[in-house]
Structure 1
């Protein structure tokens, strides 16, 4: 491999197919979440209802995460991913029917609302398996020497889906309505299934097939909590996302504060992902491995500042720029965190480590949505967003002060070790 080859991972055919599948799923999932948010807030006009959406997804995602990680490490990854996407497709079809006046014309508002919450809950179960499966399949498609580059491209595609999904959601709600927007989401999930068939089945690398569940879970937790760098990265990002979850309140900002309607809502929702996407493409050419610890701390500190600016802004384009910069700083954090996980996780434990990651970071998005909805209800929308930004800054300063090992983290040695192992 040529050093600093920005396109090293893209030279593997199955990795490109993997990226297409991941894009389709992220696009569909992020678009669906936005459409649901818009529909639920339109039904209730209650900010707490937005938090409940997150809570309904995070409860099963967290409670099932460790068990899901065990299953992922025991099973063939492509087949398991196919089942996850099929589950998502069924949920999307259900939401399509729930937003069809012909079906729910005689239903009460609460019946529709609780049915949506139920399907979101089922989506949380699917997500508990989806993240660890994708993380584990990733490692079976490319050699270890290109893990950092592949992690950058994989994260970039994730952000691309997160850019286009919310943006299209805002515009499609305006153009074709909530119901047909859900139909489009269902179509993309079917495209993901078709594309996934182009990837071959992969070997199961776990030497402990059939290991008792409790013993397997204990081993996974012991590894994560015993590896301080992984634990530190996950904890830092979890708290930052938990208290910086201002995006959950974007329907309120779009409808009641900035008054920009569904088109402005789509722009606001896409702005963070656009910033993150640009950073990720840049990092493919200029790796973030050197002084990774300080870069991660600085990125999350900047994220907190941007959230505070967004919270107090009453000008649409100032809000857009603040969200864009929050995405750029979050993109740096994501690339570094994914690189740490890929480089320092043994192959046979990827499912379990990814499941703990989903508990720490992935689920903190939904917990952050609930926290934002609850604090907005208690102290007002603007105050709750500024409070979240302040808590993020406090977390970064505390972590930097008590963890000199984390501040000095440099990933170049890990990369050299993996390159030598592939030779």
Structure 2
């Protein structure tokens, strides 16, 4: 990563451990995403069942996120993340064992994915809340972009690697994925955090829902995470990639991996740019513009029958998405007190999970009713309409000039 020039970031051992763990876990998740999508479509040849994959991943996050956020503000966040990743690794190892012995059916497959998602739901909020305890506030935007760019490297390589490995059997991918998550678990627990003095709130309903209350009182934060929710909810065309790779573009499992990598390539290059030149002015307008680009890219991908055009559309989609992600995460983390970060991050994770996993379910259902191309096209148009509506509803977000001046 020769584009990083900040010695403070490079010399931070805990940040290096966090980055390595994120690379390892993201590599695992990307391989897992390709494998479960391709295997489910191979088992069923059904867009509906592809949508169910998103639903069973979303439900545990929806049910548990507030609870996870609460315990993240009371207990060691590193231990929560580490245990979560360890349990995921064990569950995926069992999935590998089941595939190796030929025990997997579409029903048992959905059940296993559900338990993996159940363990994964304990990872997000404490993981998001770790970074502010590792780096100083003034370099947080640059550190956030650095973590994102490092993670995207794994996101680029992982899908293509999974596409190649799948030809040797799904059990091999699941075995490697399990090992990577166990490695990430070991690395996370070694991180040293600069803990702020925080007094846990009493255990009651007010404390449990404090994250929701806090976000409702901050229109800028509410606008940022809800914009991401609805934009990606409608623009979840990536859930349909197995169908595009198999039936429309006809490029097989390796081609699916290449398409899965395309958004990450765009995200990596954009993250590198944001690390070197952090956003300083007009961050609200930039965020809205990025989401519009996300919608336009989805539309182009939806109607494309060219592998090159599809790859480029997904490339731009990933680049525009990472801009929105960096702005949103920076706004949320910098404007939230440390004793609230777990609970606020849990609400943020519900929004992210809704936009990703529930978006995949929505795309699968819409595709089964209207067809694959109309579903993806409709999603892109819906994303742009959301931007136009949010421009009116959250004008304070649109006019945010800088991160330091965003408090409200």
TM-score range, shorter chain: over 0.9
Equivalent-residue separation in structure 1 for 2:397 and 2:302 (angstroms) = 30
Structure 1 residue 364, shift from structure 2 partner: 1.6
Matching of residue 114 in structure 1 with residue 103 in structure 2: no
Equivalent-residue separation in structure 2 for 1:247 and 1:288 (angstroms) = 27
Structure 2-normalised TM-score?
0.95
Q: 2:79, 2:189 within 8 Å by CA — same for their partners in 1?
A: no
Structure 1 residue 414, shift from structure 2 partner: 4.5
**Residue of structure 2 in register with 1:189 after alignment:** 181
Equivalent-residue separation in structure 1 for 2:174 and 2:196 (angstroms) = 36
**1:18-417 alignment, distance < 5 Å:** 18-100=18-100, 103-104=101-102, 107=103, 112-174=105-167, 176-200=168-192, 203=195, 205-208=197-200, 211-414=202-405
**Unmatched segments (≥5 aa) in structure 2:** none
Q: Cα deviation per residue 1:63-90 (whole Å; 9 max; x = unaligned)? A: 1110110011110112112111111111
Equivalent-residue separation in structure 1 for 2:193 and 2:276 (angstroms) = 31
Q: 1:238, 1:364 within 8 Å by CA — same for their partners in 2?
A: yes
Question: Which range moves more in the overlay, 367-376 or 398-407?
Answer: 398-407
Structure 1 residue 156, shift from structure 2 partner: 1.6
Q: Cα deviation per residue 1:221-270 (whole Å; 9 max; x = unaligned)? A: 11011111110000101111101110100000000000011121111110
Q: Report the count of equivalent residues.
A: 404
Q: 1:131, 1:358 within 8 Å by CA — same for their partners in 2?
A: yes
Q: 1:98, 1:116 within 8 Å by CA — same for their partners in 2?
A: no
Equivalent-residue separation in structure 1 for 2:241 and 2:200 (angstroms) = 46
Q: Cα deviation per residue 1:288-313 (whole Å; 9 max; x = unaligned)? A: 23101000000000110000000001
**Unmatched segments (≥5 aa) in structure 1:** 418-423
Structure 1-normalised TM-score?
0.91
- Secondary structure of 1:413's aligned partner: coil
- Secondary structure of 2:73's aligned partner: helix
Equivalent-residue separation in structure 2 for 1:266 and 1:5 (angstroms) = 32
Q: Cα deviation per residue 1:174-233 (whole Å; 9 max; x = unaligned)? A: 3x2211111111121222133234324764743125x21422122221101111111000
What RMSD in Å do the two structures reach over aligned CA positions? 1.8
Q: 1:73, 1:349 within 8 Å by CA — same for their partners in 2?
A: yes
